Structure 1
């Protein structure tokens, strides 16, 4: 039982609320408390109000900025994030203290007309806001067309129903968390589409000075996921990646070894470069070094063949 309530901050989308309630449940169970000990506070972020393409408004950080301000102002005590939305360079006074066990990392192909990605006819229209997914699809199918499709899962699926596009792509993790597995027409292998760095992972952030919260969150941290995510985000950081550059990465940690795959693409799919490295890994520092070094070397190799954050 907590003497002072720990306020959980979150966005108001159905998926964000699911994630916040998941964290709330874990905290209640871990601390032998009840829901009143861990109330949820909904905050609207910049990413929730923007109607256009996120990359034109600053990209990463639009879904986390207001939550972090609320942490610094002590209006909330923890913030729950989708880790792929979290910038790789954070505020000095804030820390990600726990990363939950990762869900399905794959991308989901969703269509009412076609059973597989391979069945899409020439010139088919795919709705997506992800430049990574667009670039990966164009490397395989340069004939495809794209339209901007934003909003929460329900909004995107409604636009698909309305015939705005022939297909769309979403993260399997989000659909499964919302118990909408039935919407997945085809789960795409990571060998076909490497996911975004940190896709499928939930992070919990708090103030660096708050030792009480740090201790409280420690049991929720999933070590294998933390090490994999650390390497992926370090790879992204070394590339100075943002929402303007198609970048993919996937780490897998087991038995003291970390395997990391990374990919960078031109936006039009005409160029791609990939790398894969594995090394013994027993700490966050070692995971970071593996990812950062791979990203640094890849950026040198790419040179000016990709337009960076233009």
Structure 2
């Protein structure tokens, strides 16, 4: 194989991610890699929350169709945006080394959640972020915020919000963490990140030659952490239509796990924090999800989805 094509969205962050993987492949194999820029439904419909129009798969479907049609070999995604089930004919071949997985409070006025005045306007369309903000500060006004990172920062600077919540990883990768007065990582004890946050996922055509060429991109630590995280979300059948936070952090031979599910308004939730042996990682996400199901997780998430349909 002398050439590979990466199907990619055209946002600044998607292009950074694809350029990064392009560079890694070219260094490793000395082959030409080109980018094919495409628009997905998630890029076009910007005035409606994702939970109302089909969820995170809206950012991947067109890229997947392009690969299945033989026009490209791979796509690079923010792992937190990748659905739990892939179409037949595609392979989830690698998860890359993790960037900071925390969410960040981004503001021109305030350095922390605690500093926000009562009734502050906070921008996020994430039900997970909304829930955890309201658990901590039920007085805050949470407003919908769609668009790419640059668009969201522009709306903040124009004064539409007192603060917005973004993934720290995206800001760092684009070098935008220096463009705002305050960018403060939110401790994971306060806001548990989304499954896969901070990790890039590489999806490709399920052909042995291509899978073999891309397997060097896989990071063992990220694989262990995100296996637990994604298994948990998959068993609960939770996409962006319901509030779920899930983070696994490998620390030596232990894995520190934090998980939360609940109502979008923060009025009710289930939360788990525990430490397991690294050797348990392969099936622990499934075990934890089933344990929470026994505590009423499915019923809680059903009510959460009903509430989300009314507030979004």
TM bracket, shorter-chain basis: over 0.9
Match of 1:13 in 2: 11
2:205 equivalent to 1:207: yes
- Which is helix-richer, 1 or 2? 2
TM-score of the aligned structures, taking structure 2 as reference length: 0.92
- The answer on whether the counterparts of 2:225 and 2:250 sit within 8 Å (CA) in structure 1 is yes
Query: Which range is displaced more, 258-267 or 139-148?
Result: 258-267
- The answer on whether the counterparts of 2:243 and 2:304 sit within 8 Å (CA) in structure 1 is no
**Residue number among 104, 108, 117 corresponding to 2:104 in the alignment:** 108
Alignment map for 1:123-272 (pairs within 5 Å): 123-182=119-178, 183=180, 184-208=182-206, 210-272=207-269
Secondary structure of 2:114's counterpart equals helix
Q: Distance in 2 between matches of 1:300 and 1:198?
A: 25
Secondary structure of 2:295's counterpart equals helix
Secondary structure of 2:259's counterpart equals strand
Match of 1:73 in 2: 69
Query: Which range is displaced more, 138-147 or 253-262?
Result: 253-262
Q: Which sections of structure 2, spanning at least 5 residues, go unmatched?
A: 307-312
Distance apart, 1:288 and its partner CA: 4.2
Match of 1:43 in 2: 38
Aligned length: 301
Distance apart, 1:125 and its partner CA: 0.6
Q: Which sections of structure 1, spanning at least 5 residues, go unmatched?
A: none
2:283 equivalent to 1:289: yes
Distance apart, 1:257 and its partner CA: 3.8
Q: Distance in 1 between matches of 2:296 and 2:249?
A: 25
TM-score of the aligned structures, taking structure 1 as reference length: 0.93
Q: Distance in 1 between matches of 2:229 and 2:91?
A: 17
- The answer on whether the counterparts of 1:242 and 1:309 sit within 8 Å (CA) in structure 2 is no
Match of 2:79 in 1: 83
**Residue number among 100, 113, 118 corresponding to 1:117 in the alignment:** 113
Secondary structure of 1:119's counterpart equals coil
Residues 176-198 of structure 1 deviation map (CA, whole Å, 9 limit, x = unaligned): 00012223521111111110111
Secondary structure of 2:56's counterpart equals coil
Distance apart, 1:23 and its partner CA: 0.1
Q: Distance in 2 between matches of 1:124 and 1:116?
A: 12
